[in-house]
Amino acid sequence: MEEFKYGDIKLSGSILNVNPLEVHSKIIEADGLLDYIHIDVMDGLFVPNRTNGIKMFKDNIRLENKPFDVHLMVEDPLRELSNYIGASIITFHIETLINSKTMQLDMDQFYDISREIKRMGAKVGIAIKPNTTVSFLRNLLNKVDLVLVMTVEPGFGGQKLIESTLNKIEKVREMGFEGMLEVDGGITPENALSVIQKGANVIVAGTSLFGADDVYDAAWTIKQK
């Protein structure tokens, strides 16, 4: 796996809302500025939307010579993992580990999932929704490679960034995390600087990137912030 240094800005392009017939051409338009291809996997249970993440992943991993960044928005991450062999990063949600009665993390479940991800040769990512308190992450930060702070409620692309989520990014850094800190949801060339200044170093962009008139210019502007 590639070495990652704190401070590098990486761009992960979400193909969620891209016409499947145009994915390859859109990636070519980014002309080397894209570091990861972001695959959104939704089961219609954990989030109110469903995607055919397996098809998106398998169709494109055969074609694209890029690392794949898989975001599992599903109730049972362990069951889904075998579908994404070959991914560089696999991220699952901390909310799937929280016992609704005791409000404690199921660490056995965390270890089961993270061990399988590592066995597959991928980096381990943990995601957190806008309304979940950051304190749940405290005991996991030294056990994961990536923290994904959702800057919108997961489930649909094209949403506007929730400004209050910027504090979450900052808090994760204040808790001592020096790894890959990814942000996903409503990131545009115009607001990318605000999330980078808070400590993010992996930017997920979808609609604002692949829907731009000039994909290369949008990618360059985000990375140069």
pLDDT digits (tens, 9 = 90+) for 64-75: 989 999 999 999
Position 7 scores a pLDDT of 56
Q: Are 114 and 91 in contact (CB under 8 A)?
A: no
**Tens-place pLDDT, residues 116-162:** 999 999 999 999 999 999 999 999 999 999 999 999 988 777 778 99
Instruction: Give the position of tokens 């990318």.
Output: 192
Neighbours of 183 (CB within 10 A): 30
Instruction: Give the position of tokens 């094209």.
Output: 158
Q: Is the pLDDT of residue 99 over 80?
A: yes
Fill in the amino acid letter for 167: N
**Tens-place pLDDT, residues 181-211:** 999 999 999 999 999 999 999 999 999 999 9
Q: What amino acid positions are annotated as catalytic residues?
A: 40, 184
Query: Which residue spans within the chain are E strands per DSSP?
Result: 10-14, 36-42, 68-73, 89-93, 123-128, 146-150, 180-184, 202-205
Position 225 scores a pLDDT of 60
- Give the pLDDT band of residue 90 (cuts 50, 70, 90): very high
C-alpha 71/C-alpha 206 separation (Å) is 13
Across 23-51, average pLDDT: 93
Buried b (16+ CB within 10 A) or exposed e, 189-218: bebbebbbebbbbbbbbbbbbbebeebbeb
User: What pTM was computed for the model?
Assistant: 0.93
C-alpha 45/C-alpha 29 separation (Å) is 34
Three-point CA angle 166, 12, 141, nearest 5°: 55
Domains of the chain, earliest start first:
10-224 (3.20.20.70)
Position 119 scores a pLDDT of 98
Instruction: Give the position of tokens 């799937």.
Output: 96
